[in-house]
Structure formats: C-alpha cells, structure tokens
Structure 1
Amino acid sequence: MGTPLPNSKTLFLFSLRVLFTASFSSPSTAFANEALSQCLISHSQASQPITSAIYTPANSSYSTVLQSYIRNLRFNTSDTPKPTLILTALHESHVQAAIVCARKLLVQMKIRSGGHDFEGISYVSISSPFFILDMVNFRSVDVDIETETAWVQAGAILGEVYYGIAAKSKVHGFPAGVCPMVGIGGHFSGGGYGNMMRKYGLSIDNIVDACIINVKGEILDRKSMGEDLFWAIRGGGGASFGVIISYKVNLVRVPERVTVFRIQRTGEQNATEVVYKWEQVAHKLHEDLFIRPVMDVVAGENSGEKTVRAKFIALFLGDAQRLLSMMSERFPELALQSSDCIEMSWVESTLYWTNFSIGTPVDTLLSRTPRGLTHLKRKSDYVEQIMSKDELRLLWKRMIELERPILTFNPYGGKMGEIPATKTPFPHRAGNLWKVQYATNWHEDGDKAARHNIELTRKLYGYMTPFVSKNPRAAFLNYRDLDLGVNHNGDESYEEGKVYGVKYFKGNFNRLVKIKTKVDPGNFFRNEQSIPVLPR
C-alpha cells in the first residue's frame, strides 16, 4: 500500500470541477474572452489572419475543437474546467501573438499538440483563466532521404511521420512510440519511447535541430537558442521552455522486411517461468529484438478461475529464420514457432503493434479518429534487479485480487545502456533492466468510478515498491503522473517542482532549473508539473 496523497493532490485529481465551476460562470469570463480575442487580433499580421483560428465558448465549434483532442475521458465531462479560448494557430506569428497577449493579460497558456498527456495537463489547468494554444495545424512532415533527415512539426502525429517516411523509402524508419495518434510536440520533447529503442535509442537521441518560439516571441533554431536550451527540450519537456514548432530528426535504417509475433501464456501455461526467463534475457538479446510482455487478469481455460495472462509482442529487425534461431538458443521457454512469425514491412509493423489486423492499408496511419476512448490512469517505474519466481507469483496474486490494472514491461539493454545519463535530460539509462507501465482503463463515468480505478492503480504501484528503483523512485515524463507532485507555481514553486522533478530527471533536474531560470525567468511557460525557476 502506498502512502496517502496530500489533500492538495487529491483535490486536483478528483475535484477539479469544484474548484472551477464558480470562476467560469462569472461575468468576468465573457470579458476575458473578449479581451483576449481582441488582443490576438490586434497583434496578428494582416497577411496572416487569425480570426478563423480563435474559438470562444460563444462559437458553435468550440466544444468540437476542445474535445477533438481530449484522449482521456476523465477530463471530458461537463464540469471539467474549460479554457476561456482556444487558438488553433495557423502561422508562427499566431504563436507569437498568443505569447504577447497571455503575458499582457496575465492569462495562463496551455500548449496542446496531440492531447495524449495522461493527466490532461495540456488542456486543463488549476489556474484561471487559461486558454489553449493548439498546434494541430502545424503538422507537416518533410522527409529528405538524400540526407536521411526529416523536419517534423509539433502538431504532426506519429502515424503521419511513419507514413511520410515509408512513402519515400522502404529501408528507413524512426524510433518513436507505438500509438500512431500521439502528437509529436509532447512525445519528442519528453523522450519518445518505442520498440526500436534497444537498437537506436529514444526519439530524443535522434533529434539534431529544432525550431522554438521563446518567451520573447523570438523564433530560434539550434544555433540561435544555444546548446543548453537545445539539450533541455530533448527530454525535459518543451512546454516548460517555449513553444516547439518543429524538430529535425535523423532517420534510421530498417530492413525491407521485419518480423513480428504475438504469443500469450497464462498461469496454467507456465507464465511465471516464461516471464522469469524473459527477465533474465530480454535486456541481453541482440539489439535488433524487442520483446514486450503485457500482463493482465483473465479467466483460466481449464479451471475457469482468474489467472494472469502474459502477452508477448515483439519486433525483430530481421527475417523470421534468423529470429527463430536466436530464440531457440536464448529464449526456448517461449517456444516460438515459425507459424508465430510474420514478416512484413517496417511501416506495416507499426500498424500490427497497434492491434490492427494484417493487411490494414498503410494510410490508416494518417487517421486522427480514435478507435475508442476510455477513462484512464497511468503510472511508471524502473526495475534494476530481477524479480524471483516467488516474487512474480505474489505479484500475480496481487493482480488477481485487484483485477483491473495491466502491467507492461519494456526491456532495456542495447543502445539504452550506451548513452550517458547526462546526454539528454532523460536520465533512465544504464542500470535499468526494464521500465514498468501501470495502466487502468474504465468506461464508467463519474468521480466514484475514477476514485476506485485510480486507487486500484495506486495499490499495485504500492505493492511494487520493494522491486523498483529507489532514492529516487524514478518515473518517465511521457507517462505523466500527478500523484508524484503538483506545482501551484507560487512562492514554493521550486520546492514543489523538486518533488516530482528528481523522479523524472534525477541528477539532471538542477541543470534544467538553471536553464529554465535563464530563458524564462518569469516562469511564463508553466503547468502543474513544469520545470520551476530558482527561488529569488
């Protein structure tokens, strides 16, 4: 069991609506809408009209625009705090105008690129009033195969990146996440985990340039922003330092044909022994191979009683014959057969990993319509020592008692162990065996269901305490988790920020704070878990 959260955090997680109902029903709201709208119009360029990009609650499309990129139904209720305005910027000058007006009118600006942040930080605020700068229209993907690079705008989604690369080359790809609809802005700036990380590292390890608009409204590239700021926005969260417009990335080489498989084993089928063997070998296997086990609770086929199921999904950057030989030698416990192996192009594998059926058209990657939405809670951990079979059995027992949380293990090794912890703000490198994701999804509406399911996630997280990293108990920024701490951006901003900051960034936190203090001393770019400035 974990330690109960302080009241302030619980209040934010469960009772946001109470805090904001009054503030957004007052006459001052309409005034704020009008003032901000007029300011944006007056500060925009005549050659780049901004009016069509402004949505206030009086606009019939306001709700559609707001809800179209909310990916967690916990933050899509009638009482969820709403922005005073949404600006779907069409040009860099619109972003500049947004910064000028937010500073002038003392309105908090939230930056949204895809809406997949697990705690809704890009479109919900504990401060009022606030508005959303939505980067949805910044979505170009410019691939240059000759130089093996691409410029990718912050509002593009991963699927568009993968599709854009594949349209130009059969032997190039990019290491990033397995959800095609995730926005580039947050994903890249927070790290960018994916199933090629053992071969090529994270997304941030392959970024070579960027375009950002700072608090002064200046448009900067790597040279003009300097190496400190460029370092910070590759893993430290771009929204703490400015508005990311685009990133330039190095493409990576992939075979024309890769191999994938998906195998499951239940407790009745020796799941414990197979997972235990995975623990020992997954981080030592050839870097071309990435095997992710996902554990959930199901009814046993024989007894009908609840049991744990381990689903192993893999990407191998090579052919099936080579994979079978490798698995037979290093991981025979999984009993991989040739019939389990499926060869396909790399871009097709990105659809396979998203549970699309084989043969799904590749242009499905361009879709921005979710296949389904749920209420959800996520947490993360890092494991540095192998769990014994007895410890795994106790873990399965605990999961069966809780029923709903799902565990995902992401293996380390390969490139992840070669990059120094200080190379980027992302510090979780050598020494880790795998990363854990705790995932709970539910369809029931209301605070009661939210409290119940979030508590289930916390209980499993609490149970795992002895088996994960310590001092600090580390966490992954892209798996945003407000349980780790909330920053109210007041006089205690640095101390509040340090609570979650050392968990996300470990020894890199202080460098991030120094850079933040230099480039944004007034803490304009802020949110509930942003990088704070040094206390005055």
Structure 2
Amino acid sequence: MATHTMVAAAALALCLFAAAAADKHAGAQPPALAPAAAAHDISSCLLSNGVSNFSLPSSPSYTPLLDSSIRNLRFELPGVGKPAAVILPASKRDLQSAVVCARAASLAIRVRSGGHSYEGLSYTTENHVPFVVIDLAGLNRVRVDRRSATAWAESGATLGEVYHAVGLSGGRNLAFSAGSCSTVGMGGHTAGGGFGLLSRKYALAADNVIDAVLIDPSGRALTRATMDDDVFWAIRGGGGGSFGVVYAWKLRLVPVPDNITVFSIGRTGPVELIAGLMHRWQYVGPSLPDEFYLSTYIPTRSSNGNLSMSFTGQVLGTKRHAMAVLSQTFPELGLAESELSEVSWLESAVKFAGLSSVADLTNRQPGVRQYSKSKSDYVRAPISKQDAIKILRYMSAGPEGSIQLDPYGGAMARIGSTVTPFPHRAGYLYSIQYGVSWKASEIDRADEYIGWLRSFYTFMAPYVSKNPRAAYVNYLDLDLGTNGWKNATGGTSVAHAASWGERYFFTNFDRLVRAKSKVDPENVFNNAQSIPPLHYDREH
C-alpha cells in the first residue's frame, strides 16, 4: 500500500471507528400497535402538541431522512426494520413532546444524534418491535462562553460543529477533548465516554461534562441540580439509550497552545520490521508525556510480502519539542522533522477528520459509507515481538480490515475507575479497535468476513485483558450478548445483562443498574444492550 493511501486510510479509520411519568410494569401496558396504527397515533399526538417536523413511511421525505445519518450500510438493507416515524425536534419542548407521544403510542424510542452506533442501535430495533426514531440533527446549537471556558452543546451537534464553534468563538487557545470524526454526534459520543487525541492530557469528553439537561421518561427536563446524583454519574460514560435523552451538555473547555504539532506517517516493510515497530510502540505511546498522543493503525493483507502501518501524532507543543522527545523515546520510528507540521488546534481537527477546510467541520453529510463490523479489546501488558509477528501474519491473510491501537495513560490513568462509569483507567496501556469492511458487490460474503473477524478476536484472547475481557461501550458489539426484548419496554434480567455490562463497565455496572432503576424503572429507554432496571430480576 502506498504511504499516502495508507495514511488516508488511517484517517478514515479514526473517523469510522471511530460515538444515542412511569406506568406500572409492562404487563399493564397497552398492547403494541401495528406500525400503520402506531404511525397514525403518534402523528395525531405530535400535531396536537405543536410538533410538525416529522416524517411517516408514506411521506417522500421519510427514506432520505432516515438514511441521512446511517453510517454503516449493514443497517440500510431491506431486511432491517424501519421506524413508524422519524421525528426532528427543533426545541427542547419538541423533544419532550416526542418522548411523551412515543410512550403514548406504545412505540419503542430510538434517539439518534450522529448515527455512528457500531450496531445501529440508534435507529433499529430487534424482533420487529414497532419504534420511532427521534433524530436530534435539528438540536445542534453550541454556545461558547470564552470567559468561563465553558460551552453548552445540544446533543444533536456533531463533534465538528462543536470544534468549529469553540475554535472560532474561543480563539486559538481553547479546545474540547473528544474524538476525531467530525460527523459523530455529541449525544452518543459523550454518553459512552468519548476518547480522542486530547484524552491523555485532558481525559475523556464525559470527564469534562459539568452539567446536563436530561429529558426523563415522563418528559421532564432535569439538570444536575434536580436529577439524582447516580443519574448524573450514569449519563457521563454509561452508554446512550438507557437513562433518558440528554438535550444538552455543559462542557469544560481546555487550554491549548497557539500552535500544536501534528503528523500522519506511514511505514512499510517485512513482517519482522512492522512487528518490531508495533512491539516498541507499546512501551512508548502509553508512557509519553501527557501532551503527546501517538496511535498506530495496521491494515490487513500484505503487498509483495510487505506489511504496512501508520502513526498518527499530536503534540501540544512545537516541532522541536516533539522531535526531541520522540527521537529519544522512539528512535526506531525514524521520524524526520519534515514529516511534522505546526497548526492551530482547530486546523488539527480538520486534518484528523480527513477534511479540507475549517468550514467542512460543520458538514453533517456522511461522506464515505461502507458495510462493516467492529469489535474492541484492551491490553494491560505489552505483547511480545514474537506474538506480534503471529498477529500480523494472521492479519495478512484476512479480508479488508484493520486494527487501531489507541494509547491510554496520562490524565486518564489518574482518574479513579469509579469516578464515571468508564472504568478503563490506571493499568490499561491501550485499546484495540478491530474492523472488517466490504463492498456492495460482496454482500453475499458478509457472513464470511464477519466470521473471520470473530475468529481473529478469538485468536487475540491470550494477549488482551481478562476476567472480564474488557470492551468499550462506544464500540458497541452485540456479539457480547443482547437483551432480546420483544415489546416497547421489554428487557432482560440484570444477571443476563451483566454478561456484556461488566465487560463495558466492570463493577460500575451495579451502580448503573441502580441509576436506571431510579430514573427509568419502567424501562422506557432501552435497546439491545441497554441497562435494565432492578425489577426485571424479580418479574422476568
């Protein structure tokens, strides 16, 4: 693979891998309506509550609106169930009405902010359960207060829109710590933690949330001052779709220099060379000073017997500082000063999103879409060079895919594992994102490609975290288990949900269940891997 092509693929991977009144128990709920009846029922409710911006299956706007934020084409296939309505709230009041009307129509609620759910959980359901999509694209306002270094961002804002507002309103010296893909929505990304290039210096997006407005199952708007402490804790890293709809987040902005150093470089060679770089990176990436971010991306397959990998770097400092540190800690990389650039933080966001200009940060169009499947892991002890060779040889025979290794440590490791639901703190060297993708002409081989990824995941078991084998909730993976619910407020037992909940959250899963039981005891907000309330252990 040519170096420039591989670096572009790495930037794309950062984006693609790269981000969401109680009744009695479900037995007393009215029966689920057929989709046509449900659509009529909810349309009447919405109109009577002043909500006019929605689309039904009979409308010409329905399919373009539904498909507008579907990033993974696996969930656009004809066999995937479609919602009874797609609602585009334009205000907090509209959002509150959408929640109340969906409940009144006995429709399951799916909330979509950017559409990047790895398993399509923000716009699909299981077992043909009738549902509605509340699309937050119209709730995308960002208000920056430069004096207090804070911002209020509605959940429908994309990371690109947030960065654009912060960079232009806050000047060159303010930033927000979150992911690199500009079309990821704030809602789901922040709800699951939100890792990015500033995380080793300033922790996760969720770690920088200082207030929020949450719409609960009865349609009430709760703030940090009025919601339960467990609930405010839960919405900052406990995953989207379980506790309500976050209308907006108050964010702590962070200081950055006028200019920072960035680079994206490729290296190609025999398996021993690439394995040596991978092996050495494990000792460097997670141990660099906090102001350094250095990840690596390795595609599957080989070319003329050679493998490829690329490195993405960001340093909150000058090129001279970056070279001084990296030439000493990672001489094997052979980094040249000519491969580094000094840019503003906002310009770095453009670069790592694979865009051409600052203005492009506000473009919500999905860009490249593909059929894909992803999984995740965490590593606590470095993988030996000999084992790295085995891993790369396994990958070289695989279908089109990759692994992305993201360094942890720094500020993330100094935050306790129970401060937020995100538990992957001290002791975790890096995360692994696995992915395979295929073209429309290869749909009949999708099961084969997904099967290879699952086999590779099994192969990796000796080298990654154990008891439990950890995973990141923002890289949703239904292979870990599902609720299997069959009605709008259906669910599963807490014991069953622990099979994946403890892998995402470890012991924090128990507190998430308590928070769920407080704010949503009737399980109005649910999905295939949502947190169940306690009463499901008693009544299911």
- With structure 2 as the length reference, what TM-score do the two structures score? 0.90
C-alpha distance in 2 between matches for 1:70 and 1:465: 31
The aligned runs of 1:2-151 (5 Å cut-off) are 28-42=34-48, 44=49, 49-51=50-52, 53-126=53-126, 127-151=128-152
Secondary structure at the counterpart of residue 482 of structure 2: coil
Per-residue displacement from partner, 1:445-466 (whole Å, max 9, x unpaired)? 5753321221121121111100
In the TM superposition, what whole-angstrom CA distance separates every residue of 1:140-198 from its partner, at most 9, and x where no partner exists?
A: 01011100000000000000111101102101111100100000000011100101111
Give, as a single letter, the amino acid of the residue that structure 2 aligns with 1:361.
S
Corresponding residue of 2:527 = 527
Which amino acid letter does the alignment assign opposite residue 45 of structure 2?
Answer: C
Indicate how the Cα distance of structure 1 residues 60 and 292 shifts in structure 2: closer, same or farther if over 3 A, else same: same
User: Which deviations, in whole Å up to 9, do the C-alpha atoms of 1:332-355 show, x marking residues without a partner?
Assistant: 111111111111111111121123
Distance in structure 1 (CA, Å) of the matches to 2:325 and 2:374: 33
- Aligned counterparts, 1:357-372, within 5 A: 360-372=356-368
Identity, in percent, stands at 40
> Alpha-carbon deviation of 1:96?
2.0
2:259 to 257, 274, 277: 257
* SS of corresponding position for 1:136: helix
Distance 2:51 2:77 in 1: 29
**What amino acid sits opposite 1:63 in the alignment?**
T
2: CA distance, partners of 1:491 / 1:298: 41
Q: 2:477 aligned with 1:474, yes or no?
A: no
- Paired position in structure 2 for 1:270: 273
Q: How does 1:167-186 map to 2 (within 5 A)?
A: 167-168=168-169, 169-186=171-188
Deviation at 1:310, TM superposition (A): 1.4
Alpha-carbon distance between aligned partners in 2 of 1:267 and 1:178, rounded to the nearest angstrom: 28
Letter in 2 for 1:529: Q
1:272 CA drift (Å): 1.8
Deviation at 1:491, TM superposition (A): 6.6
The answer to whether the Cα contact below 8 Å between 2:301 and 2:397 also exists between their aligned partners in 1 is no
May I ask how many residue pairs the two structures share in their alignment?
498
SS at match of 1:399: helix
Indicate the larger mover: 159-168 or 269-278: 269-278
CA separation of 1:355 and 1:93: change in aligned 2, threshold 3 A: closer
Structure 1, unaligned runs of 5 or more: 1-26
Q: Tell me the equivalent position of 1:154.
A: 155
Equivalent pair of 2:492/2:532 in contact (CA under 8 Å) = no
Structure 2 residue identity aligned to 1:315: Q
Q: Which moved more, 1:245-254 or 1:121-130?
A: 121-130
Which region of structure 1 is more displaced relative to structure 2, 271-280 or 470-479?
A: 271-280
- Work out which of the residue numbers 187, 191, 194 in structure 2 matches 1:192: 194
Moved more, 487-496 or 135-144: 487-496
CA distance in 1, matches of 2:123, 2:265: 38
Is 1:283 matched up with 2:286? yes
Q: Does 1:378 align with 2:374?
A: yes
TM-score of the aligned structures, taking structure 1 as reference length:
0.90
In the alignment, the residues of structure 2 paired with residue 469 and residue 445 of structure 1 have an alpha-carbon distance, to the nearest angstrom, of 36
Q: Retained in 2: the 8 A contact 1:74–1:450?
A: no
Q: Which amino acid in structure 2 is aligned with residue 108 of structure 1?
A: A
Question: What secondary structure is seen at the aligned counterpart in 2 of 1:222?
Answer: coil
Letter in 2 for 1:276: H
Task: Determine the C-alpha separation between the residues in 2 that align with 1:104 and 1:50.
Answer: 15
1:77 Cα deviation from its structure 2 partner: 1.8
Alignment RMSD (CA, Å):
1.6
* Partner deviation per Cα, 1:249-284 (whole Å, 9 max, x = no partner): 100011111111122222338222222111112111
The one-letter code sitting in structure 1 at the alignment partner of 2:97 is: A
Quote the residue 1:311 is aligned against: 310
Name the counterpart of 1:487: 483
Residue 340 of structure 1: aligned partner: 339
Partner Cα separation in structure 1 for residue 302 and residue 307 of structure 2: 8
Q: Report the counterpart of residue 11 of structure 1 in structure 2.
A: none
Greater than 4 Å deviation, 4+ residue runs = none
SS at match of 2:349: helix
**How far apart are residue 416 of structure 1 and its match?**
1.4
Map 1:344-355; keep pairs closer than 5 Å: 344-355=343-354
Which residue type is aligned with residue 275 of structure 2?
Answer: T
Distance 1:29 1:276 in 2: 54
Q: Cα distance 1:298–1:266, how it changes in 2: closer, same or farther (>3 A)? A: farther
2-side partners of 1:500 and 1:65: how far apart? Answer: 32
Separation in 1, partners of 2:183, 2:368:
12
Q: CA deviation at 1:99?
A: 2.2
Equivalent positions of 1:395-406 (< 5 A) are: 395-406=391-402
Equivalent residue of 2:354, what SS? coil
Query: Unpaired segments of 5 or more residues in structure 2?
Result: 1-32
